[in-house]
Amino acid sequence: MSGLDTQLTPLRFLDRAAEVHPEAIGIVDGDRRLTNTEFAEAAQQLAGALRDWGVSPGDRVAYLAANRAELLIAHYGVPLAGGVLVAINTRLSPDEVAYICGHSGSSLLLGDADLLDALGDVELPVREVISLDDIDAFTARGGDGFIPWEVADETATITINYTSGTTGRPKGVMYTHRGAYLNALSEVIHQGFDHSTRYLWTLPMFHCNGWCTTWAVTAVSGRHVCLPAVRGAEIWRLIDTEGIDHMCGAPTVLSTLASAPEAHQLDWPLTVVTAGAPPSPTVVGQIRALGATLVHVYGLTETYGPYSICEPQDGWDELSSDELDVVMARQGVGMVTADPLRVVRSEPAADGSLVDVAPDGVEMGEIVMRGNCVMKGYFDDERSTAEAFAGGWFHSGDLGVMLPDGYVKLLDRAKHVVISGGENISTIEVEQALASHPAVADVVVIGVADDKWGERPKAFVVLGEGVEVEPDELTAHVKTLIASFKAPRDIEFTDAIPRTSTGKVRKNELRDAERKSASH
């Protein structure tokens, strides 16, 4: 690198926002409205206070907070101090929070008073815990010093995000300043952010640093509008009063948006970006009916959130609504700052290199990614890092196919595929078929042991309120949509689907329960 190149860092984004649009509102949080100048000053004060407290370059600082101004400020203030931000999922158990504090070696934990209270008397392996109620007193010790918005090495770690895997201990995914910067620029370009953007925080900021939109919105001097909890009424109130034109979220957020009593036709363009699980064509249709534009992206914690986008093609506007729902539900192609996605066979070539599946939409393989939009590695876990990057590409654990048009379609998590009579059955495909029946409010499909076929799909279905339907009718409906062998052997009606704090279905829990009941 030439000596005069500036190291890439998203810190520059807040520097620029405060320089170019100092009086523009950068953050709305309840009744508080912070200008970009106030945003930048708060980050400087936090950084100064952290240094005064004893944070040295590379030290981890943990946050346990809802979507609020302080957590946005931390995305700049912690790295500005040279620290590494560890934004912890607020829905984790006290033990899990303690584990993450310990594994990351965080010396300091800052958090919302109620979230800290809820930790009870769990032992937190940090030097100090500070309530965000007392943040003003803490930052006051920062003094008036100014820290340049620069880093000495763009490959330094900026944050560690712990995976919310449904099995095993969470792993600490390291993001770099360079990766955060480049991913944020992809978000700007693909989501179409600019200075007029009013971004609603329906996505948790602790989730992949809000898919890097904590940085992307500020890169173009846009406006963050905080939302502490995903409630339909509050989302619609903020859309209407704050002029929201962008938001992101898992398909459950889309459902909340579409099914709220306050839902109404939109008065201005609203872009809703979704990922986390493939949205069902039904939800896709509902969101579009409101007048919103849906953008479908795909990624993992290990890829800074979104890595690929289902980029619309010329001619898609001539498709029928149903056809459009289907093509838009795919995971698509790498974003502009990402490398291409590949779908590869489980067996590498003789020389160890990965072998692509046929681009026929049929041959299933693992989705792999690499480059600037992929993590540096797992913190303090060289073995997992080496495993994840076997063959020089990051292995997502997600199974998919490559379509003839170069778009990737996710079929299932590797561990959630049902292998029935030697055929792979994507549980997602079965779930989407069931979800398209009007009686079905929620659904999950898992594989259960089957004497004849090895495994067979089983569905857990939540029906809409006051609706009744026979399992046979649902099975028949499914068979009109997908191959008969993919239809569930059993359908069990239930009141609720068990989910993790980030909305992932606890399929393992369901599988374990099935195994236990089968063995009795």
Rounded-to-5 percentages of helix, strand, coil across the chain = 35, 25, 40
Residues numbered 146 to 165 that lie near a second copy (CB under 8 A) are 154-155
Minimum Å gap between C-beta 244 and a second copy is 18
In this chain, which of 63, 394, 453, 460 binds a second copy, going by CB under 8 A?
394
Nearer to a second copy, 283 or 368 (CB): 368
Q: Is residue 367 at the binding interface for a second copy, with CB under 8 A as the rule?
A: no
Q: Is residue 16 at the binding interface for a second copy, with CB under 8 A as the rule?
A: yes
Nearest alpha carbon to residue 394 among 409, 377, 413, 415: 377
- Strand-by-strand arrangement of the 223-225 sheet: 32-35, 25-29, 223-225, 198-200, 246-249, 271-274, 293-300, 305-309, 333-334
Distance CA 97, CA 88 (A): 7
Q: Is residue 336 at the binding interface for a second copy, with CB under 8 A as the rule?
A: yes
Distances (CA, A) of 345 to 191, 349, 421: 32, 9, 20
Minimum Å gap between C-beta 315 and a second copy is 9
In this chain, which of 39, 389, 453, 460 binds a second copy, going by CB under 8 A?
389
List residues bridging with 108 in a β-sheet. 61, 128
With beta carbons less than 8 A apart as the criterion, state whether 411 and 396 touch.
Answer: no
Tokens of 401: 């196919």
Minimum Å gap between C-beta 330 and a second copy is 13
List residues bridging with 87 in a β-sheet. 63
Region near a second copy per CB under 8 A, out of 38-46, 62-70, 331-339, 509-517: 331-339
Residues numbered 21 to 80 that lie near a second copy (CB under 8 A) are 21-24
In this chain, which of 69, 185, 203, 328 binds a second copy, going by CB under 8 A?
185
Minimum Å gap between C-beta 234 and a second copy is 26
List residues bridging with 85 in a β-sheet. 61, 159
Distance CA 436, CA 441 (A): 9
**How many residues of this chain bind a second copy (CB under 8 A)?**
48
Q: Is residue 307 at the binding interface for a second copy, with CB under 8 A as the rule?
A: no
In this chain, which of 68, 224, 370, 416 binds a second copy, going by CB under 8 A?
370
Q: Is residue 188 at the binding interface for a second copy, with CB under 8 A as the rule?
A: yes
Nearer to a second copy, 311 or 381 (CB): 311
In this chain, which of 20, 349, 358, 483 binds a second copy, going by CB under 8 A?
20
In this chain, which of 291, 406, 421, 464 binds a second copy, going by CB under 8 A?
406
With beta carbons less than 8 A apart as the criterion, state whether 379 and 406 touch.
Answer: no
Nearer to a second copy, 340 or 348 (CB): 340
**Which residue type, as a one-letter code, is found at position 445?**
V
Nearer to a second copy, 108 or 219 (CB): 219
In this chain, which of 57, 291, 392, 438 binds a second copy, going by CB under 8 A?
392
Sign of CA dihedral 249, 250, 253, 254: positive
Tokens of 81: 């101090």
Q: How long, in residues, is the chain? A: 520
Distance CA 487, CA 502 (A): 28
With beta carbons less than 8 A apart as the criterion, state whether 357 and 382 touch.
Answer: no
Residues numbered 347 to 366 that lie near a second copy (CB under 8 A) are none
Q: Is residue 376 at the binding interface for a second copy, with CB under 8 A as the rule?
A: yes
432 Cα distance to chain centroid: 20
Interacting residues with a second copy (CB under 8 A): 1-2, 4-6, 8, 12-13, 15-16, 19-24, 154-155, 176, 178-179, 185, 188-189, 192, 194-195, 219-220, 311, 313-314, 333-334, 336-337, 339-340, 370-372, 374, 376-377, 389, 392, 394, 406
